Amino acid sequence: MSTAFVSIVLCTYNGEKYLDEQLNSILNQSYVNFEIIISDDASTDNTLMVLEKYKSDTRIKIFQNTVNLGYIKNFEIALRHITGDFIAFSDQDDIWLPNKLECLVNNIGDKLLVYSNSEYIDEGGKLLNKKLSDISLMYSGTNSRGFILWNVVWGHAMLIKKELLSVILPIPTNAPHDIWMAFKATNCGGIQYINKVLTHYRQHTNTVTHQTFNSAPNKQSRSLKKRYEEYLKNIEWYTILQKNAQPKEQPFYNVFIQLYKQKEQGFAWQLFFFMIKHRKDFFLFRNKKMLSQVVEIRKLCRYEKK
């Protein structure tokens, strides 16, 4: 069994309601060789009062921003204070199962990132009988193309080696930090999935969730202006992926981006046939039947005008 030191990063902002429960679930882990780095982003509720109760615990280090910097900047600040060989990431409102850290540390092997399954709970902590694996095809390997349309690794479910920091920082503007870390790790030796539920993932009105930039949800309901703005945002994201992909995958990204831009001229038929041909790559992380995949591809190829 590994005895490596783990830094647990917890970014807080107005999280008073569930913070006690989450911190207690971390402090009661079966794996005991860890520190908790808490960076508060100028909370305006009673978050700091909750954290005050834990200041005497030598495992916990609390840092406070004088002004609100936003999640990504606060996350980067927290990373400056870590001292561990491994880094785990905690939301402020989930519940860790007692063997989470132990299981992740003992299964990361030669990969830079390992992640696990999670089960949804409601605001009161009741299990909702739904797992992350019910909506995504959990993946181990080195193929990064699935990140074009979806995400399969959530920050709260992952553990990384400290070495990964050298290739993920700085985090690109507007790029979700967990997707970015997972993408980079996939291109640097691959990611490892453990088919175990190790976190209870709380869903409530203030939950911050994301998949990736282009999940194509009900685009017809959006104004033409909004659709075009999303189209430009997608190109920006795809270009970031292309620049950071493995050399063997870059031709794929080059062709995809070139064809995606044809949407400004009308329905992108060449993009449609390209995506059909490489359907397994695009939907590597998506739990969708073939007909649903074709329907989504058709939506993604639709004409986008200014």
* CATH number, position 66: 3.90.550.10
Q: Do residues 3 and 33 lie in contact, with contact meaning Cβ atoms separated by under 8 Å?
A: yes
210 assigned to some structural domain: no
Mean pLDDT, all residues of the chain: 93
**Domain match, 224 and 192 both:** no
Convert the pLDDT of each residue in 222-261 to its tens digit: 688 888 999 999 999 999 999 999 999 999 999 999 999 9
**Domain match, 105 and 187 both:** yes
**Domain match, 13 and 153 both:** yes
- Predicted pLDDT at 206: 63
Q: Which domain holds residue 227?
A: 219-300
**Domain match, 72 and 155 both:** yes
Split into its structural domains, the chain has a count of 2
Q: Which of 202, 227, 242 is the last residue of a domain?
A: 202
**Domain match, 84 and 160 both:** yes
Q: Residue 84 to residues 80, 106, 222, 275, 293: CA-CA distances in angstroms?
A: 11, 15, 45, 42, 42
Percent of the chain with pLDDT over 70: 94
213 assigned to some structural domain: no
**Domain match, 54 and 154 both:** yes
**Domain match, 156 and 280 both:** no
Q: Quick one: tokens of 165?
A: 């920091």
- Predicted pLDDT at 215: 52
**Domain match, 192 and 126 both:** yes
pLDDT band at 219 (very low <50, low <70, confident <90, very high): very low
**Domain match, 141 and 186 both:** yes
**Domain match, 77 and 185 both:** yes
Amino acid residing at 187: N
Q: Considering the entire predicted model, what is its pTM?
A: 0.91
Residue with the bigger pLDDT between 224 and 118: it is 118
Q: Do residues 250 and 242 lie in contact, with contact meaning Cβ atoms separated by under 8 Å?
A: yes
Q: Quick one: tokens of 197?
A: 């539920």
**Domain match, 231 and 166 both:** no
- Measure the CA–CA gap between 303 and 262, rounded to whole angstroms: 8
**Domain match, 184 and 144 both:** yes
- Measure the CA–CA gap between 165 and 159, rounded to whole angstroms: 12
Across the chain, where does the E strand assignment appear?
A: 6-12, 34-40, 60-64, 86-90, 95-96, 113-121, 127-131, 158-161, 191-202
Convert the pLDDT of each residue in 6-25 to its tens digit: 999 999 999 999 999 999 99
208 assigned to some structural domain: no
Q: 176 preceded by cis ω (within 30°)?
A: no
- Predicted pLDDT at 221: 55
- Predicted pLDDT at 93: 95
